[in-house]
A = this chain, B = another copy of it.
Amino acid sequence: MSDAEQTRQKILDVSADEIHKNGFNATSLSVILEKCEISKGALYYHFTNKIELGYAVFEEIYVPMFLGMWEPALSVKDPIEGLCDFFNTVSNEMICDEAVCGCPLNNLCQEMANVDEGFRQRILNMQEQLNDLISSSLQKISNQLRNNIDYSQVSYFIVASFNGSMNLSRSSRNKELFQKVIAELCHYIKALKK
């Protein structure tokens, strides 16, 4: 990787971290510059403006990370078990000492989807991708599941509930509460089976 690419990557990594912690608007470019130990000129050489930097973080950091988490959970023999394991892992591994930051994509979604059309489109795209992933995984074992299941509806509900749970735990900073809600979510998912 060339020097320039390294700088660009460092900007992306630091920005992803800062945006995750503070949200997009509250993230200051000057803080990013400090942590990267670069000048403003360097940043604006690689990115035309703040929002383009945000898009790049979304596409090059958040989306791969996001899919890298969900995909393995769904591409197992039993996606129902896979999902529950995934949710439980997330809820168990949650760190309570520091401020809980929640899912970066989910956060960005709440903050920016209504403000900026570029973010909104990217978020929508992600949501649809994830929904396809879940619903197709569930359909593969449809013979084991209840009849009359609207797979798209169920998938969106699972994602919505999981996000809602993360938000709850984020604001309450209560790991046990998070685990309880996740337990109920898993209870619901498992009830999809016959």
Report A's interface with B, CB cutoff 8 A: 23, 25-26, 99-102, 106-107, 109-111, 113-114, 120, 123-124, 127, 150, 152-154, 156-157, 159-165, 167-168, 170-173, 177, 180-181, 183-185, 188, 191
Contacts and interface: CB of A to CB of B under 8 A. Distances in A.
Contact of A165 (B164, B165, B168, B184): B164
Majority secondary structure, A binding face: helix
B184 A168 contact: no
A169 to B, nearest CB: 9
A64 to B, nearest CB: 20
Count identical subunits in the complex.
2
B157 A185 contact: yes
Contacts of A25: 25-26
Contacts of A127: 168, 171-172
A160 B107 CA distance: 15
Contact of A181 (B23, B124, B156): B156
Contacts of A185: 157
B167 A181 contact: no
Given A150-B180, A152-B180, A164-B164, A114 B171 contact: yes
Contact of A111 (B23, B154, B161, B184): B23
Contacts of A165: 157, 160, 164
B111 A153 contact: no
